Amino acid sequence: MTASVPTPVAGPIGPAVPLDSGVAPVDLAEDLERFNARLATYLKPEDIARVGAAYVYAEAAHRGQMRFSGAPYISHPLAVAETLAGWHLDPHALIAALLHDVMEDTAITKEQIAERFGKVAAELVDGVSKLDRIEHQTFAEAQAENFRKMLLAMARDVRVILIKLADRLHNMQTLDVLRAEKQLRIARETLDIYAPIANRLGLNALYRELQELAFRHAHPLRYGILAKAVKSARGNRREVVGKVLEAIRKALPGAGIEAEVKGREKHLYGIYRKMREKHLSFSQVLDIYGFRIIVKDRPTCYLALGALHALYQPVPGKIKDYIAIPKANGYQSLHTTLIGPFGTPVEIQIRDTDMHHVAESGVASHWLYKDESALDQLQKKTHKWLQSLVELQSTTGDSSEFLEHVKVDLFPSEVYVFSPKGKIFALPRGATPVDLAYAVHTDIGDRCIACRINFETMPLRTELRNGDRVEIITSPNAAPNPAWLGYVKSARARSKIRHFLNTQQNAESTALGERLLADALRDIGLALAKLPAQAWERFKKASGARSERSVLADIGLGKRLPAIVARLLADGVEPGAAGVAGVAPENRAHPAILIHGAEGVAVRLGTCCRPIPGDPIVGLIRKGQGLVVHTHDCQSIAKLRSERANWIDVEWEPDITGLFEASIRVVVKNVRGVLARLAAEIAETGSNIVNISMDEDSGDATTLFFTLQVTDRIHLARILRALRRVPEVVRITRYVDPKR
């Protein structure tokens, strides 16, 4: 569809629909008047004309379409554009806001928009538009892919998300007309994604409004009860609020400080979240009122803080300086909690005018207050976060995983730590040294082996606290540990670890699969290197495999049996073709696969029997696990005799080096100091103790379980001989855990 629209002249935007058209333009008159008034405050007449042309174009495109409320559809894009005009966004963004639904709801294309309104506006509209849901199997997949597209478009141009947030705000304001289940879904989506994004971009006023609207629709009964309780409490606490306001307004001028003082009631969702997180009843939430003090400059903020602490007693540990260390979204203020009249806690925020602009409008302040130098740091932080989305995209497998990482990154709580050189890093609450390592650089994260927190060596899983000084220790031969995924908190760290492990597993499983397939082909007289291309093509077509490499990786991971793949490949080889190895199967030697140790993801040592060099071993291919190596007498192997087709001949590498874990059980007499003597003997033999546990047998004997690091079977035998020399040792054996 090509909309034929008149070209407007410079001047106010007016209804493009005749009064007798039946579309009820009268309903839009007040909205258009307010929109015009906002545009006139900061746009040139020629820019207003361009926006007017977009309005006329959008109205013609949506003509005849109605919202669920019964209002003409054009009222929605107009409301979105009006929100952006409140932030003083440029004409390109306003045009895109007015046209943001035409690609979804009409036959108008991106090319037509670009031709009529320019490439910039067309790109913005495309970034906001949803994808075709038919491409995806489920609604959740479609939503995840939509978020992925939108967030990556936002990384290229932040105006995309500003339009989308304004779009979501108006949808939330008009949500009452939808079915209850749809209200709930949209409200939860708003709380999970859109409100946190608004907070991450510093759009505080929008963030609070989205939270309130989502809370009202997601939990209507709780919202109603809490609203009634707050209204009832207003009267009871009015005297306290009045006294605090009066005292502050007297104290600040008395200290020579000019300030604007505002009392504000806390948002219902903030009260509700506090009740849930701290398990409080409403009567226990005393601080439902807060106060905001706005002064002329930064030094005066600290003077005001001193004056307030002289007025009321501050609560220890409740003073936060977000001016010296701003939040990641650029927010700056001093926060303090005071004990007010009648012992009531009073929360106060102190900021200057520039900080107030950024706190309320965040990244949109770039357009609202272009001359403010205070915005430079905010823009840098925003740009850094947006670029991190692009980086996440490059290391993430699918849309759902990408969205999961972004959700992790949107949590508002943060902890601030210092590098040894004094650089400040903002990390999610609960972050560990591994998160910090990846925040510094991917290579630091991949190679970290230990850390020092406040000059003390600590485990990598230690939870960091505000003000910690953290030093990361690295090794050139180290690699990410899969266990890290159990405790890292940042999206960047999680994404980088998964990417490394997936890449490593794929490479190792492909190499292993190649060896196994070559072995299976040799059994039937064929050579893998000489297989004709048509044999592989026929196999891929029949099995649905993407590539030869993916087939080899599947074999290495136990997802395909090498013997079956070999037989299917042989079906595609003509008799006498170059693929024939010329070696009779019965005369073929079966070289065993050499094991280098616990060196990878595709080849692992069984945790049940803990094989070490020198032990007779056998390999077992398990689906999704790759090759698992066990000792010959392992009980797990004995239970799997029915899977003999999956058993693989394996041998230890002759010149194997490294440390391997072995478990022993030691029964000792209950004598003081016996554990210290055992530990000393183990250390003398050059072994490390990984773990110790205890199981009391009787009053005079105790069973100790040690997990030790050894180089091979001979090293373990030397340790056992040394421990037998300890007089208190009653019995000692190598131990296999039956539970594993």
* pLDDT tens readout for residues 170-192: 999 988 888 888 899 899 888 88
Backbone angles phi, psi at 602, to 5 degrees: -80, -25
CB distance 249 to 208 below 8 Å: no
Tell me the β-bridge partners of 733.
Answer: 665
* pLDDT tens readout for residues 388-424: 665 655 555 555 555 555 655 555 467 778 888 878 7
Q: What is the pLDDT of residue 134?
A: 38
Q: Which residues of 455-464 are buried (b: 16+ CB within 10 A; e: fewer)?
A: eeebebebeb
105 is known as an active-site residue? yes
* Alpha-carbon span 238 to 233, nearest angstrom: 8
CB distance 669 to 728 below 8 Å: yes
Topology of domain 26-219, CATH: Hypothetical protein af1432 (1.10.3210)
CB distance 519 to 590 below 8 Å: yes
Query: Can you give the three-state secondary structure of 139-205, one letter per residue?
Result: HHHHHHHHHHHHHHHHHHCCHHHHHHHHHHHHHHHCHHHCCHHHHHHHHHHHHHHHHHHHHHCCCHH
Question: Which residue is catalytic, options 33, 104, 376, 651?
Answer: 104
Q: What is the pLDDT of residue 503?
A: 76
341 versus 27: the higher-pLDDT residue is 341
User: Positive or negative CA dihedral for 486, 487, 490, 492?
Assistant: negative
Q: What is the pLDDT of residue 135?
A: 45
Mean pLDDT in residue range 517-530 = 81
Question: Which residue is catalytic, options 33, 90, 105, 260?
Answer: 105
Q: What is the pLDDT of residue 599?
A: 47
104 is known as an active-site residue? yes
As assigned by CATH, the class of the 660-734 domain is: alpha beta
Q: What is the pLDDT of residue 723?
A: 93
Q: What is the pLDDT of residue 364?
A: 65
Listed by start position, the domains of the chain span: 26-219, 221-372, 379-491, 499-652, 660-734
* pLDDT tens readout for residues 685-725: 989 888 888 886 666 888 999 999 999 999 999 999 999 99
Fold agreement between 26-219 and 379-491: no
Residue from 16, 1, 9 nearest 55 by CA: 16
Q: What is the pLDDT of residue 529?
A: 81
* pLDDT tens readout for residues 471-505: 999 988 888 887 888 888 887 888 888 888 777 76
Task: Order the strands of the 603-605 sheet from edge to edge.
Answer: 603-605, 626-631, 617-622, 647-648
Topology of domain 379-491, CATH: Ubiquitin-like (UB roll) (3.10.20)
Mean pLDDT in residue range 131-139 = 46
* Alpha-carbon span 395 to 389, nearest angstrom: 10
Q: What is the pLDDT of residue 719?
A: 94
* pLDDT tens readout for residues 211-221: 999 999 989 99
The CATH architecture assigned to 221-372 reads: 2-Layer Sandwich (3.30)
* DSSP character string of 546-604: S-HHHHHHHHHTTSS-HHHHHHHHHHTS-TT-TTB----GGG---PPEEE-SS--SSEE
